[in-house]
């Protein structure tokens, strides 16, 4: 096994002359944003998870154990911590809002068509399907907010910014799937809109470790901070 490349930080790039993203989190105004922990991507018996296991076992050997053994348990810990502290939890779900997908942009419709032609399954499933639902282990409870989006970032296809600002949210702790796709795009969009953003390294996943670490390194240099689950839980309990 090759040595993992580090996520960029002041410690790994001491000569980096641009300032690192710095902020003090107001934990009284922080929310946990759980991105797309849906059956289509996070359930090994459904959707993309099953397709990867059947056709790309070398990818599944990394991705599925990371989800089951690391990411989902850590998201459960974070959900418990935020709820116990009385802080807001927000889930997003990704997919077409209409069964025929005509509400999606052309590029995404084309991607679904091409993937379905080659594999028999789409890239995304529409609202109301089993694959679109959140996985059984990470279900919302009363007062959690669930936002359905048809773009990678909810800031581009929903009123999530308005909702967060109505609730007085200033900081977002972002977790979920996939690190280099919807998680990264959501986190960058949130940062560009003035939210303080933390992405939790061990509560996110994507199909390739190198893409996971590259996405987090790029985010950490410019947009926000990358923490561990342990660090978030400790800070939330202290603050």
Would residue 21 count as lying in a domain? no
Would residue 199 count as lying in a domain? yes
Q: Please say whether the beta carbons of 124 and 70 come within 8 A.
A: no
What percentage of the chain carries pLDDT values higher than 70?
98
Would residue 43 count as lying in a domain? yes
Total structural domains within the chain: 1
Would residue 60 count as lying in a domain? yes
Confidence of residue 5 (pLDDT cuts 50, 70, 90): low
Question: Which residues, at least 6 apart from 236, have a Cβ–Cβ distance to it below 8 Å?
Answer: 27, 30, 81, 82, 85, 87
Convert the pLDDT of each residue in 100-109 to its tens digit. 999 999 998 9
In this prediction, residue 116 carries a pLDDT of: 84
Would residue 123 count as lying in a domain? yes
Query: Would you call 172 exposed, middle or buried from its count of C-beta atoms within 10 A (0-12, 13-18, 19+)?
Result: buried
Query: Would you call 45 exposed, middle or buried from its count of C-beta atoms within 10 A (0-12, 13-18, 19+)?
Result: exposed
**How is residue 125 written in tokens?**
């499933």
Would residue 5 count as lying in a domain? no
Would residue 80 count as lying in a domain? yes
- Nearest one of 187, 164, 165 to 175, comparing CA atoms: 187
Convert the pLDDT of each residue in 170-209 to its tens digit. 999 999 999 999 999 999 999 999 999 999 999 999 999 9
Domain assignment of residue 127, given as a range: 27-238
148: domain CATH number is 3.40.50.850
Convert the pLDDT of each residue in 114-161 to its tens digit. 888 888 788 789 999 999 999 999 999 999 999 999 999 999 999 999
In this prediction, residue 204 carries a pLDDT of: 98
Would residue 20 count as lying in a domain? no
β-sheet with 171-177: strand ranges across: 145-149, 88-94, 30-35, 171-177, 196-205, 225-227
In this prediction, residue 1 carries a pLDDT of: 29
């Amino acid at each position: 096994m090759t040595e993992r490349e580090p996520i960029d930080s002041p410690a790994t790039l001491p000569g980096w002359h641009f300032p690192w993203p710095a902020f003090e989190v107001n934990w009284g105004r922080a929310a946990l944003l759980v991105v797309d922990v849906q059956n289509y991507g996070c359930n090994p018996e459904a959707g993309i998870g099953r397709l990867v296991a059947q056709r790309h076992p070398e990818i599944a050997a990394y991705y599925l154990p990371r989800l089951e053994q690391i990411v989902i348990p850590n998201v459960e810990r974070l959900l418990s911590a935020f709820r116990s502290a009385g802080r807001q939890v927000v889930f997003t779900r990704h997919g077409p809002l209409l069964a025929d997908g005509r509400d999606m942009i052309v590029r995404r419709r084309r991607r679904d068509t091409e993937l379905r032609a080659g594999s028999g399954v789409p890239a995304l499933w529409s609202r109301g399907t089993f694959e679109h639902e959140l996985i059984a282990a990470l279900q919302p409870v009363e007062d959690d907010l669930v936002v359905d989006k048809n773009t990678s970032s909810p800031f581009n296809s929903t009123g999530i910014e308005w909702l967060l600002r109505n609730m007085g949210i200033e900081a977002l702790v972002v977790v979920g799937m996939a690190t280099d796709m919807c998680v990264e795009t959501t986190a960058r969009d949130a940062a560009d809109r003035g939210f303080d953003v933390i992405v939790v390294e061990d509560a996110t996943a994507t199909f390739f470790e190198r893409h996971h670490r590259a996405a987090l390194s790029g985010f950490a240099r410019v947009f926000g901070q990358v923490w561990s689950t342990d660090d978030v839980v400790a800070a939330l309990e202290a603050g």
